[in-house]
A and B are shown apart, each in its own frame.
Chain A
């Protein structure tokens, strides 16, 4: 399957600082990437859909100014948690969609996730 790289895998930061998380599709181009948040023992909650060259589409309840998403190229999307606070501590996972038009499949592959701890 396709490979999605997410970095860093773990970050600890002080309250009030900003943290950037990178998501790269390594062996395919992804016009669309997705950012999820997962609380312990819960399912994945979609935060936003990131489209290359345009603004991200945020889900209801997700603060656009808090979670800045940039999708500058077909292989890279970044999520910046601005002015992080302890309640932002969570597991963030990105995914990229590989479109296999001939097979009529749109499969989302996931990065390994980033555990953010805000002190």
Chain B
């Protein structure tokens, strides 16, 4: 079974609109962390936001917020007021303990394109 699932290979959003990128995860580890990274065409991975499994509130970082629904095992990224510079690949990732050590697993990514 996939540990991290991103079901949207590509998304379009109008500039200044909000967009939600989906992510579901699967783990039996009670302590885990969820991340979102942005990868522009240049290749670098830019950390956006983090949510711990025990965090009571949804994480927010500027225009980014994480809609964490623990019971549904989902961690969707919401980008508000989209900008042209938001066009990039977005990866959801999870850190949990597997095989005795901590490991981060990435989803397959969603390509977001912001339309002027």
Interface residues, chain A, CB within 8 Å of chain B?
A: 1, 34, 42-44, 46, 49, 57, 91, 93, 95, 104-113, 115
CB within 8 A of B47: which of A46, A93, A108? A108
Residues from chain A with Cβ under 8 Å of B91 in the complex: 43-44
Chain A contacts for B46, CB-based, 8 A? 110
Closest to A113 in B: B43
Majority DSSP secondary structure for residues of A touching B: strand
Task: Tell whether A44 pairs with B33 under 8 Å between CB atoms, given A108-B47, A112-B43, A113-B43.
Answer: no
Residue of A nearest to B45 (CB): A110
Min CB distance A89 to B, Å, is 14
Which of chain A's residues has its CB closest to B99's CB?
A: A57
> In the complex, are the beta carbons of B45 and A95 less than 8 A apart?
yes
With A1-B47, A49-B101 as contacts: A108 and B52 at CB distance below 8 Å: no
Residue with the highest number of chain B CB atoms closer than 10 Å, among A34, A43, A95: A43
A110 B37 Cβ-Cβ under 8 A: yes
Is A42 touching B35 in the complex (CB atoms < 8 A)? no
Q: Quick one: which of B43-84 are within 8 Å of A by CB?
A: 43-47, 50, 52, 54
* Contact A57–B50 (Cβ < 8 Å): no
Picked from B33, B104, B106, B107, the residue with its CB within 8 Å of the CB of A105 is B33
Residue of chain A at shortest CB distance from B95: A106
Chain A residue nearest in CB terms to B104 = A108
Residues A93 and B45 in contact in the complex (CB < 8 Å), given A104-B52, A105-B33, A106-B33: yes
Name the one of B33, B47, B54, B106 contacting A109, with C-beta atoms under 8 angstroms. Answer: B47
Q: Which chain B positions have C-beta within 8 A of A46?
A: 103-105
**How long is the Cα–Cα vector from A46 to B35 in the complex, in angstroms?**
16
A51 closest partner in B (C-beta): B101
